[in-house]
Amino acid sequence: MRFVIKVNRKEKVILRISSVFVLFLLSIFSVNSIAAEVNVYSARKEALIKPILDDFSKETGIKVNLITGGADALISRIQSEGQFSPADVLISTDVGRLVRAKQLGITQVNADDFVVENVPAYLRDEDQHWTALTLRARPIMYAKDRVNPESLSTMQALTDEKWKNRICIRSSNNIYNQSMISGMIQTQGEAKTLAWAKGLVANFARTPKGGDRDQIKAVVAGECDIAIANTYYLAGMLNDEEEATRKTAQQVAVFWPDQETIGAHVNISGVSIAKHAKNLDAAKALIRFMLTDEAQVWYAETNHEYPVKEGIKWSQTLQDMGTFKAQDVSLSKVGETNAKALMLMDSAGWR
Ligand code: FE
């Protein structure tokens, strides 16, 4: 017996489109000789990555073994494990670490058109060793009741006398600050950046301590009037379960510096395939998955990071913080000048 399905022209087109779509999905997620598992070394906290990995497992049947830790510790671990390293994928929350991993020779080329088509060039390594998964920004944050935003303009202007004892920022061994200084070296040169760092240190309200959230809290506590911090920390506090934390965060606002000129400093969270990855196809499939609209929306909504893919909606909190012009520098270069940035901050007396 034969079943004949009668379809009209319009339905034929729809059928053809949907079969092409199914093929497209298969080409993304089903991998020939698929490995049943993939080993992920992640510098992202488990809560901020696990849901995406679980979705990936659900859709592909590939089991994800997750190891989380500090980026430096994970990099050293991959190095010492050498060719026997079980690591397939390395996830980092800063471009500095991804560049460092590449320089240490523990990553490999991921030649994948899907990555090239979905991630703007400045957000991925020119040799295809790493790609960004999300974008994060590091603007100025200020006490709404004590600072008139009209008194703010550029990062450079924070060295003005009027900000003496009013600025909080974490220490120079924090990689977000190192990358911020690297970006400045790229846009303004070393001499100007050193002078800026000295001027900023002179205006510190206290010896640097704590993380980005602590700088925001210090502003609210009145220890300082200005903080420099990544937006997702403030966004996280604004959406916290605890009412007290939400109320604290509501007393601080974001100011986007350097909008007329070089733009605000941005950084990325990103991913590399480990040099000795045994589950190569699964590793590639995972990276593609993290760049799908579905995953990008999750990052934007849950982590309050900016999607790297065009056309993905930002979370309401990020929308409320406003659009901005981002610093237009190669993130590879930002990573490469990390050591220089560190020395410069040391010379400026930035603890
Ligand atoms: Fe962070």
Give distance in angstroms: CA of 196 to centre of ligand 1.
24
Q: Are 11 and 36 in contact (CB under 8 A)?
A: no
Give the contacts of 241 (CB within 8 A, at least 6 positions apart).
none
- State residue 205's pLDDT score: 98
Give distance in angstroms: CA of 31 to centre of ligand 1.
33
- State residue 16's pLDDT score: 58
- Per DSSP, 264 falls in state B
Give distance in angstroms: CA of 173 to centre of ligand 1.
14
Give distance in angstroms: CA of 180 to centre of ligand 1.
13
Give distance in angstroms: CA of 128 to centre of ligand 1.
24
Strand pairing partners for 58?
Answer: none
Give distance in angstroms: CA of 240 to centre of ligand 1.
16
CA angle 149, 350, 134 (to 5 degrees): 60
Say how far apart CA 66 and CA 50 lie, in whole Å: 8
Say how far apart CA 225 and CA 233 lie, in whole Å: 17
Start-to-end CA distance of the chain, whole Å, equals 81
Give distance in angstroms: CA of 38 to centre of ligand 1.
25
Give distance in angstroms: CA of 8 to centre of ligand 1.
54
Residues in the chain: 351
In this structure, are strands 252-255 and 89-92 parallel, antiparallel, or unpaired?
unpaired
What are the DSSP E strand ranges found in 182-262? 226-228, 252-255
- The string of DSSP letters for 12-43 reads HHHHHHHHHHHHHHHHHH--TT--SEEEEEES
Give the contacts of 174 (CB within 8 A, at least 6 positions apart).
211
**55: nearest Cα among 304, 324, 295:** 295
Give distance in angstroms: CA of 143 to centre of ligand 1.
21
Low-confidence ranges of the chain (pLDDT < 70): 1-35
Give the contacts of 180 (CB within 8 A, at least 6 positions apart).
138, 228, 265, 267
**String of b and e for 302-334 (b: at least 16 CB within 10 Å)?**
ebbbbbbbeebebbebbeebeebebbebbbbeb
- State residue 10's pLDDT score: 54
Give distance in angstroms: CA of 231 to centre of ligand 1.
10
Task: Tell me the per-residue pLDDT of 215-244, one tens digit each, with 9 for 90 and over.
Answer: 999 999 999 999 999 999 999 999 999 999
- State residue 21's pLDDT score: 54
Give distance in angstroms: CA of 93 to centre of ligand 1.
7
Say how far apart CA 284 and CA 272 lie, in whole Å: 10
Owner of token pair 């379809």: 7
Give distance in angstroms: CA of 2 to centre of ligand 1.
61
- State residue 48's pLDDT score: 87
Query: Which amino acid, residue 291?
Result: L
Give distance in angstroms: CA of 213 to centre of ligand 1.
9
